[in-house]
Structures are given as C-alpha cells and as structure tokens.
Amino acid sequence: MTLSFCKSPLAQTAIISFVCLLCPGMYNALNTIGNAGNISNKISNIANIAIYITLTVSGIIGGSVINLMGIRWTVFSSCLTYAIYSASYIVLAYTESEIYTIVSAVALGVGAGILWSAQGMITMSYPRHDEKGRYISVFWAIFNLGGFIGGSVLFAVNYNFDMVSIVAPVPEVGYIVFVMLNIIGAVCALFLVPSVQVVRGDGTYAVLEQHTDAPNEAAEVLKLFKDRWALLLLPMCFSSNFFYTYQWNGFNGVLFNSRTRGFNTMVYWVSQMTAVYAISFLYDCKLFGRRKRGVLSLVLFAVLANVMWGCTLIIQLGYTHGQLAEKPTDYSGGLIDLTQVRRAVGPIVLFSAMGVVDALQQSLAFWLLGVITDDAMMLSRYAGFYKSMQSLGAAIAWQLGALSTPLLYQLIINWGLLNLTIPFTLYFAFNIAADFDEELKKKKNTTVMPMNFIDLS
C-alpha cells in the first residue's frame, strides 16, 4: 500500500527524480566520461545513434503510452532497459561482440521515450503555477546527482591510471555498479501513484479525471505537428542534446586522461545542479510577469552560451584529434591530468561552463512548456514531443561523430544551432503570456474532486 505522503506533488517529483538519477543519470555519467568508458568511440557512437533514432519515435508516442497504460509499471519497465544497456558493456568486454550492445541500445531508446514523457508530465503539471521553477530545480538537482555519482565511480576506479599518457577503459566492476543502480531505480518507480491521486498543498487535485483511448491519443499526437507552441520550441528541442557528442567525446573524451575525465564528469553535473537552482528563483519570481521572466532567462542563457562557445573555439584551434592507436593527441603538451594545475584549470572550468549552459537551456525549455497549460495529459505529449525532437538532433550529432567529422566543424554546427534557437524562443516567450492568462482566469478558485477512476498504474 502506497503511503499517503507519496501523493503530494513534491513527493512524486522527488520519486521520479530519484528514478532518473539512477537510470538516465547513470547513462549520462557513462557518456560524459567520453566513449562510454571505452578507449575507442566506435561502439558508443553506434549505440547512441541507435538509442536516439529509436527515441525519436518512442518520444512521440511516450505520452500517449503513459495516458493509456498509467505511470507506475510503464516507468518500472522503462528503467529495466537502462540496466540491460549497462550490462551490455560487460558482455562486450567478455565477447567483443557489439550486437548485444546495439540491440540493448534500441530497447533503451523505447524505454527512455516513455520515462521522459512521465517525467515531463509530473514536473510540469503537478506543481502550482508559482512553483514550477522550484520543482524543475528539485528534479534537476536530484537527477544530475546521478551523473555526479556515476562520475565519482568512474573517477575512483580509474584513479590509479595516473600517467598522463594513459586512457584506460572502465573496469568491469564499474559497469556492474551501474547495473545495480539502474535496478534500484526501477524499484523506486513502484512508489509512483496514479496521477489522479496527487493532491497539491492547497487541496486542489493536480490532475482531473480524463478518459482517453488509442484513436484519440493517435489524433492528439498528430496535432502536435500543427501546434504553434510545439513548433516554435522545435529548434530549442532539436539543439538541446546536439552538443553532447562534441562536448563529451570531442572535448572531455579527447583532451583529458582517464581519471581527469571522471573528475570532469563530477564537476559538469554539479555545475548543472547549481545553475538550475539559481535560475529557479527567476522562473518563480513574482516581481515579474511570465513574459519578462521568460525573456530575461533567455537573454542570460544566450549570453553565457555564446561566451562558452567562443572560449571553446580558442581551445579547439589547438588540436584536431585525441589519443589514437597509431599516434598521440596533437594537443600541445599531450593529454591533461588534473594534477597539472596550470594546464588543467582553464579546460576544466570551461567544461563546467558547458554544464551550466546545458542546464539553463533544458530548464528554460521545460519551464516554457509548463506554462502552456496545466493539462497533465497534454503536457505528457508535449514532453514526449520535446524528447523526440531532442533525440532526432542527438542522433544526427552522434552520426557526425561516427563519421569522424572534424571537431572544428562539429563546434561550428553546435554554435550555429544555438543562435538559431534564440529568435524562435524569444517569440515564444513574448506571445505565450496572453493565452495562458485567459486559461488561468477560467480555472481561478476552482477545486474539482476526481470521480472514480481506474488506473493501470
């Protein structure tokens, strides 16, 4: 029997946050270190392409799956795909066969689309209007703790590889830890409750009873491709994971030795947690209207992102490749070790700045989506659409990596995509306020008790 305290929006947000900490968080940690902990980036590139191509499809339908099947068991099943994927690298170490890793990557793509749709629905629809920024920050802090823990594991198991010239693969025990954490995440998902049972602190129900069926969900999904809010945010969605290939493999995976890559992973995710906590005060600031909050957040993000990419370009002009089997890196002085303070500080700080910019972009996208509507079923579809378009961009980016596209070209593409998103997002922020004010007026001072509801969760 689920305890009553689990039915509050904050408790449900915390639960889905811990689920994401232990599943997507561990996946992020594995990727942030570069090449999924392998010396070669071949298999990690292929696996990520498979994941994101699959996620492009599963993200679109993920919200509908949640609406039709309920949240608890669908999220539980989705978490198991992360454990299967982590275990595939243990199989790879013993058999040197890449087939299982690629098949498990496809399974992960399906599970991730459903999990992220559930996460988006919870964090965007459960809180009150003046709490959305705080709930996003709670989620982001707990979720990115997963990347920090994963980076700590990878830092610890690689610490003795302290020679500057060494890039060592992650030992098998590291992958075993990842599998165990993924399974714990799946168990945490069983504490999620049916959405219609969630009650806010003011006594209102977060979600009202709404019946749906497969034909209706199919129709609603198709409508997303004509929805002006979804289309305006499409460039932001598309670009929001595009840079991972370059930052994780082409920067962290190329410039640093093994233990420093693990250390950087911890710094990257701590930077994300700090950034989202700080920006949440602006998202929920009652001194400004939603339009001004959205515009100020976008301006802050745009300035910091352009400064970050400009500094990255300066470093990128100093190398073309990392440590290869046939030749060492052409970065001046070779691979960077964290004990080489004068060489390490600048690139490590820059990598942490990449984490800050990532957090600002993704939290802004979620906050903007969250003020479109309070309808949980609609927001689950928006969240799925966001993840789908995000994954389409990521699949293309990982393909660029797999094709060994020069790192300088990858940087230029990422920088260009960043600035392409700004005018569309600015228009979004300027025009959403009036529409949402009308919706708030209709719902003001209404508390509706849900009717009897059968939920498959």
How large a percentage of the chain has pLDDT more than 90? 38
What span, in angstroms and rounded, lies between the C-alpha atoms of 393 and 128? Answer: 31
Residue 210: predicted pLDDT: 61
Residue 36: predicted pLDDT: 47
The correct CATH number of 4-443 out of 1.20.1250.20, 1.10.230.10, 3.10.20.30, 3.40.50.1460 is: 1.20.1250.20
Residue 167: predicted pLDDT: 44
Residues, the chain:
457
Residue 184: predicted pLDDT: 95
Residue with the larger pLDDT of the pair 151 and 270: 270
What span, in angstroms and rounded, lies between the C-alpha atoms of 186 and 183? Answer: 5
Residue 79: predicted pLDDT: 95
Over residues 156-181, the mean pLDDT reads: 66
Work out whether the CA dihedral 335, 338, 340, 342 comes out positive or negative.
positive
Residue 325: predicted pLDDT: 54
What span, in angstroms and rounded, lies between the C-alpha atoms of 371 and 359? Answer: 18
Work out whether the CA dihedral 85, 90, 93, 96 comes out positive or negative.
negative
CB 220 within 8 A of CB 371: no
Residue 359: is its pLDDT beyond 90?
A: yes
Over residues 76-101, the mean pLDDT reads: 87
Q: Give the pTM.
A: 0.82
How large a percentage of the chain has pLDDT more than 70? 84
Residue with the larger pLDDT of the pair 343 and 431: 343
Residue 445: predicted pLDDT: 43
- What is the number of other CB atoms lying within 10 angstroms of the CB of residue 106? 17
Residue with the larger pLDDT of the pair 330 and 201: 330
Average the pLDDT over each of 79-83, 120-124, 272-276 and give the range with the smallest value. 120-124
Residue 97: predicted pLDDT: 76
Torsion angle of alpha carbons 290, 292, 296, 301, nearest 10°? 40
Q: What is the 3-state secondary structure (H, E, C) of 387-439?
A: HHHHHHHHHHHHHHHHCCCCHHHHHHHHHHHHHHHHHHHHHHHHHHHHHHHHH
Torsion angle of alpha carbons 39, 108, 234, 30, nearest 10°? -30
For 347-357, how does the pLDDT look when each residue is reduced to its tens digit (9 = 90+)?
999 999 999 99
Over residues 108-136, the mean pLDDT reads: 89
Residue 209: is its pLDDT beyond 60?
A: no
Average the pLDDT over each of 29-38, 319-328, 417-426 and give the range with the smallest value. 29-38
Over residues 307-331, the mean pLDDT reads: 86
Residue 194 banded pLDDT, cuts 50, 70, 90: confident
Residue 255: predicted pLDDT: 92
For 388-412, how does the pLDDT look when each residue is reduced to its tens digit (9 = 90+)?
899 899 889 988 988 889 999 999 9
Over residues 98-118, the mean pLDDT reads: 91
DSSP track, 178-212: HHHHHHHHHHHHTT---GGG-B-TTS-BSS-----
- What is the number of other CB atoms lying within 10 angstroms of the CB of residue 38? 20
For 39-87, how does the pLDDT look when each residue is reduced to its tens digit (9 = 90+)?
445 677 788 888 989 999 998 888 888 888 889 999 999 999 999 998 8
Residue 451: is its pLDDT beyond 60?
A: no
What span, in angstroms and rounded, lies between the C-alpha atoms of 135 and 128? Answer: 10
User: Which residue bears the tokens 């609609």?
Assistant: 378
What's the whole-number average pLDDT of the chain? 83
